[in-house]
């Protein structure tokens, strides 16, 4: 996990020396995740690319130079590089031994370098703090923090970036430590506080300069001058401790957010003991934190892009971008999806308004917020490709990708359904294959899960089981009785449940159950009257970068669903509904006369987690008799749900 947000401030605080439009450290010159002083356009062009090594570190920019930090996996070296901002020419690089730490992701560097004056400061995942000259990379000073202060990098490694303010360098590596920026002399250190992943945020408490540190147990404030404790706020909800998003300063308060059902809170330190002015689960930042702009907090709730107002109320949401990352400025948001799309949108609490969209990366995952410097946007993927986009000038906003194209006449929904059915092979092809057995690969790009095997069984009319083999090292962590860990999702015709030997079996929520039930009805559109009370074509729209007919479907069981039919092929391109999955279908292939989508991109309703299923082989073998069995705990869970709360 890399560190994720410095403070989002209403009034800029003292920052490192930098020019207009520079972005000299994590979350920019003012520590708010926003660019200031330079207008930038929604549309841009790629000026240059560079390979910087594995990792999640953002680029820092000062005085026309770009500094980037990455890991050379072949030689096991951390590498710090400097480039010319205008041309991308590499000016120098420095290397030292590093560690991959590929735990539940592909590994690499986690923190972002910081620039102040003539120096650049870098903190490593193993706990080393280094100062180099910005001009030529010469080493000025170095501290092995892990050895000097008995610090344990733990499972993921230290992910906090250096914070430069008031002539000091602040880092959180379990302890929070302050160093003189020029000499490297230690000014103060805190007691151990499990501050592992989040970058310190600068804050002022009753006029006293402070740093806010988000550790795994909660939020701590320290006086910037001497490290004296100035308050704390517990924020520990369960055993899944990944507090990674650095606090966002909102006036005199601090906004906290973390994932895995923790949620968010606006914390007040000004009147009595620290307490939450409001707290909810509407924003659960996993890695990338929020930015505060135009009266809203914009960020990723797990894998759903959302806007909250400053009272904690949700104003809008958007699925489909995975566990992305966000920066902003000039009234706009620069959003990098986990799949590698750069989306520029208007910063508005009223509605999501997309201004442009560009596909930058085809591989790897993108969890790093874009750097916005002097009208350029620099973005990277975890594989080490850094892209510099030129967004200078007034520019012209493109039409929103979701804008509807008006047409004089819309085709009847029944005609679209019939065309899709015919393209699949007709009702005869579906009736011929009452069972289906699929094998392929599964991945969660949004959380870094590499492709792993999965197996799927269908049995008409509405039974389905998906077995997902967990990738290393999770397969060993979830193993039971020597069997590598896996998760099974089952819809047995009436109930939907998960069989999980590690975390225990569970029932799916009603929304998830509707989604799984719909996915299990392979023949649904052959007899759509059994599932839908009404189908209505309402627009021609862009969906998944394809012209599609949008059809609103009313379910006989209640509720509504939206279907998208590809204008060119007639095939179903996707479906979505509130509290159900957004599913995208591509690459249809014929298997014994039956056309099936071999690429399915699914955004789960619980946080919008992005999943990618790719079909490798298909046969029509009948499933084993126990395939859809409920297991030992499921009947009791169903009985408990039926009985309701007592």
pLDDT at 6 over 50: no
Residues 236-243: what's their mean pLDDT? 71
Per-residue confidence (pLDDT) for residue 525, from 0 to 100? 63
Per-residue confidence (pLDDT) for residue 531, from 0 to 100? 79
Q: Which residues lie below 8 Å from residue 272, measured CB to CB, with a gap of 6+?
A: none
d(CA 522, CA 380): 39
Question: How many C-beta atoms lie closer than 10 Å to residue 593's C-beta?
Answer: 13
d(CA 483, CA 135): 55
b/e string for 190-222 if b means 16 or more Cβ within 10 A?
Answer: beebbbbbbbbbbbebeeeebbbbbbbbbbbbb
Max mean pLDDT among 256-260, 313-317, 545-549 falls in 313-317
Helix (H) or strand (E) holding 520: helix 510-520
Question: Facing residues of 98 across strands?
Answer: none
What's the count of helices (H) and strands (E) in the chain, helices before strands? 6, 46
Q: Are 519 and 511 in contact (CB under 8 A)?
A: no
pLDDT-based confidence at residue 298 (cuts at 50, 70, 90):
very high
352 Ramachandran zone, left/alpha/beta (phi>0; psi -120 to 50):
beta
pLDDT-based confidence at residue 404 (cuts at 50, 70, 90):
very low
DSSP string, 115-184: EETTEEEEE-TTSEEEEEETTT--EEEEEEHHHHTT---TTT---PPPEEETTEEEEEEBEEEEEETTT-
Residues 168-185: what's their mean pLDDT? 96
Q: Which residues lie below 8 Å from residue 391, measured CB to CB, with a gap of 6+?
A: 40, 41, 42, 43, 44, 344, 375, 376, 377
Higher pLDDT, 491 or 2: 491
Per-residue confidence (pLDDT) for residue 523, from 0 to 100? 66
pLDDT at 14 over 50: no
Per-residue confidence (pLDDT) for residue 345, from 0 to 100? 97
Q: Which residues lie below 8 Å from residue 88, measured CB to CB, with a gap of 6+?
A: 47, 48, 49, 50, 388
Helices (H), 473-509: 474-477
Question: Facing residues of 213 across strands?
Answer: 220
Give the least confident one: 402-406, 539-543, 583-587: 402-406
pLDDT at 630 over 60: yes
Per-residue confidence (pLDDT) for residue 12, from 0 to 100? 32
Q: Are 225 and 209 in contact (CB under 8 A)?
A: yes
Q: Are 412 and 365 in contact (CB under 8 A)?
A: no
Per-residue confidence (pLDDT) for residue 61, from 0 to 100? 97
Give the least confident one: 200-204, 281-285, 557-561, 635-639: 557-561
Sign of the alpha-carbon dihedral angle for 185, 188, 194, 199: negative
pLDDT at 634 over 80: yes
Helix, coil or strand: residue 434: coil
pLDDT-based confidence at residue 7 (cuts at 50, 70, 90):
very low
pLDDT-based confidence at residue 509 (cuts at 50, 70, 90):
confident
Average pLDDT, the chain: 87
Question: How many C-beta atoms lie closer than 10 Å to residue 228's C-beta?
Answer: 13
pLDDT-based confidence at residue 9 (cuts at 50, 70, 90):
very low
pLDDT at 52 over 60: yes
Question: Where do the domains of the chain lie, and which CATH numbers do they carry?
Answer: 34-390 (2.130.10.10), 413-641 (2.50.20)
Per-residue confidence (pLDDT) for residue 241, from 0 to 100? 67
Question: How many C-beta atoms lie closer than 10 Å to residue 617's C-beta?
Answer: 9
pLDDT at 313 over 60: yes
Residues 563-583: what's their mean pLDDT? 88
pLDDT digits (tens, 9 = 90+) for 131-161: 999 999 999 999 999 999 989 888 789 999 9
Higher pLDDT, 446 or 342: 342
Per-residue confidence (pLDDT) for residue 407, from 0 to 100? 45
Q: Which residues lie below 8 Å from residue 148, measured CB to CB, with a gap of 6+?
A: none
pLDDT at 64 over 80: yes
Per-residue confidence (pLDDT) for residue 104, from 0 to 100? 63
Per-residue confidence (pLDDT) for residue 321, from 0 to 100? 87
pLDDT at 292 over 90: yes
Question: Facing residues of 253 across strands?
Answer: 250, 268
Residues 94-101: what's their mean pLDDT? 92
Give the least confident one: 12-21, 311-320, 580-589, 608-617: 12-21
Residues 587-597: what's their mean pLDDT? 93
Per-residue confidence (pLDDT) for residue 608, from 0 to 100? 57
Per-residue confidence (pLDDT) for residue 446, from 0 to 100? 58
pLDDT digits (tens, 9 = 90+) for 244-275: 998 999 999 999 999 877 899 999 999 889 99
Higher pLDDT, 104 or 108: 108
Per-residue confidence (pLDDT) for residue 203, from 0 to 100? 93
d(CA 241, CA 258): 9
């Amino acid at each position: 996990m890399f560190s994720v947000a410095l403070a989002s401030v209403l009034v800029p605080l003292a920052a490192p020396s930098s020019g207009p439009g520079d972005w000299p450290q994590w979350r920019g010159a003012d520590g708010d995740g926003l660019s200031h002083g330079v207008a930038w356009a929604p549309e841009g062009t790629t000026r240059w690319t560079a390979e910087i090594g594995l990792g999640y570190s953002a680029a820092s920019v000062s005085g026309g130079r770009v500094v980037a930090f990455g890991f050379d996996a072949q030689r096991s070296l951390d590498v710090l590089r400097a480039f010319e901002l205008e041309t991308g020419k590499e000016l120098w690089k420095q290397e030292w031994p590093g560690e991959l730490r590929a735990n539940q992701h592909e590994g690499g560097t986690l923190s972002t370098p910081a620039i102040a004056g003539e120096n650049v400061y870098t903190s490593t995942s193993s706990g080393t703090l280094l100062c180099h000259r910005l001009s030529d990379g010469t080493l000025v000073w170095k501290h092995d923090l892990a050895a000097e202060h008995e610090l344990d990098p733990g499972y993921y490694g230290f992910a906090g970036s250096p914070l430069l303010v008031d002539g000091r360098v602040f880092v959180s590596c379990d302890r929070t430590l302050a160093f003189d920026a020029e000499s490297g002399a230690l000014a103060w250190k805190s007691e151990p506080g499990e501050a592992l992943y989040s970058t310190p945020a600068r804050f002022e408490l009753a006029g006293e300069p402070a740093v806010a540190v988000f550790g795994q147990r909660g939020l701590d404030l320290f006086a910037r001058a001497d490290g004296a404790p100035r308050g704390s706020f517990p924020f520990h909800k369960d055993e899944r401790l990944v507090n990674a998003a650095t606090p966002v300063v909102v006036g005199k308060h601090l906004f906290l957010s973390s994932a895995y059902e923790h949620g968010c809170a606006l914390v007040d330190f000004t009147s009595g003991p620290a307490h939450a002015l409001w707290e909810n689960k509407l924003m659960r930042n996993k890695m990338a934190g929020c930015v505060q702009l135009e009266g809203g907090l914009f960020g990723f709730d797990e894998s759903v892009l959302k806007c909250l107002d400053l009272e904690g109320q949700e104003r809008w949401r958007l699925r489909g971008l995975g566990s992305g990352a966000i920066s902003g400025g000039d009234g706009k948001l620069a959003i990098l999806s986990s799949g590698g799309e750069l989306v520029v949108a208007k910063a508005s609490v009223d509605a999501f308004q997309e201004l442009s969209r560009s596909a930058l990366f085809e591989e790897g995952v993108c969890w790093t917020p874009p750097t916005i410097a002097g009208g350029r946007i620099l973005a990277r993927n975890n594989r080490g490709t850094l892209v510099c986009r030129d967004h200078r000038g007034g520019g012209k906003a493109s039409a929103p990708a979701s804008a509807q194209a008006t047409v004089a006449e819309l085709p009847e929904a029944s005609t679209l359904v019939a065309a899709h059915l015919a393209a699949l092979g007709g009702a005869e092809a579906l009736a011929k294959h009452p069972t289906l057995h699929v094998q392929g690969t599964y991945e969660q790009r949004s959380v870094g899960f590499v492709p792993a095997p999965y197996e799927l069984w269908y049995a008409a009319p509405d039974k389905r089981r998906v077995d997902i083999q967990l990738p290393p090292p999770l397969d060993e962590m979830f193993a039971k009785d020597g069997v590598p860990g896996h998760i099974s999702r089952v819809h047995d015709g009436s109930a939907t449940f998960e069989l999980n030997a590690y975390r225990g079996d569970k029932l799916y929520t009603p929304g998830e159950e509707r989604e799984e039930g719909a996915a299990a009805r392979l023949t649904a559109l052959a007899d759509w009257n059994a599932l839908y009370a009404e189908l209505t074509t309402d627009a021609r729209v862009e969906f998944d970068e394809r012209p599609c007919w949008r059809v609103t479907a009313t379910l006989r069981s209640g509720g509504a669903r939206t279907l998208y039919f590809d204008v060119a092929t007639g095939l179903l391109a996707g479906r979505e509904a509130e509290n159900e999955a957004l599913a995208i279908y591509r690459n249809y292939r014929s298997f014994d006369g039956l056309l099936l989508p071999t690429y399915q991109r699914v955004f789960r309703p619980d946080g919008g987690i992005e999943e990618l299923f790719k079909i490798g082989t298909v046969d029509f073998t009948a499933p084993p008799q126990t395939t859809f069995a409920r297991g030992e705990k499921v009947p009791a869970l169903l009985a408990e749900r039926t009985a309701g709360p007592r």
